[in-house]
Amino acid sequence: MKVTSTLRYARISPQKTRMIVDMIRGSDVLAAMRLVKFLPQKAAKIVSKVLDSAVANAENNLGLDIDGLKVSQAYVDEAPTFKRFRARARGRGTRILKRNSHITIELSDE
């Protein structure tokens, strides 16, 4: 069985989030939860919540056992970007791009 959990419009750059997601892809769920718990990055805390949600979906919706679950797919897509303006010297302005992410984690028992 496959179980997914998705967080959309997360306020963190996809580049920073992919670094964490690449570490847990393919590992078993308990090892992935242990790993992201002790990483210092902000993205690790966000990915941890998505992973916990996927595990809760597996337990409550399908009645699966956590011990047999693996992270079969984990990916980060780019969400719409917030555009901001910063005033610069001589009356100019530059654009600031605040990037957002869609984080998806899929667990399977195979």
Tell the burial category of 105 from Cβ atoms under 10 Å away from its Cβ (0-12, 13-18, 19+).
Answer: buried
pLDDT-derived band of residue 110, with 50, 70 and 90 as boundaries? confident
Residue 57: per-residue pLDDT: 95
Beta-carbon contacts of 105 under 8 Å, excluding residues fewer than 6 positions away, are 4, 5, 6, 21, 24, 47, 50, 51, 54, 71, 73, 74
pLDDT of residue 87 exceeding 80: yes
pTM to 2 decimal places: 0.91
pLDDT tens-digit profile of 3-55? 999 999 999 999 999 999 999 999 999 999 999 999 999 999 999 999 999 99
pLDDT-derived band of residue 74, with 50, 70 and 90 as boundaries? very high
Question: What is the 3-class SS of 5-71, one letter each residue?
Answer: EEEEEECCCHHHHHHHHHHHCCCEHHHHHHHHHCCCCHHHHHHHHHHHHHHHHHHHHHCCCHHHCEE
Q: How far is CA 60 from CA 15, 63, 88, 95, in A?
A: 32, 6, 53, 45
The ranges assigned to domains in the chain are 2-108
What is the separation of C-alpha 36 from the centre of its chain, rounded to a whole number of angstroms? 11
pLDDT tens-digit profile of 58-73? 999 999 999 989 999 9
Question: Which CATH number describes the domain made up of 2-108?
Answer: 3.90.470.10
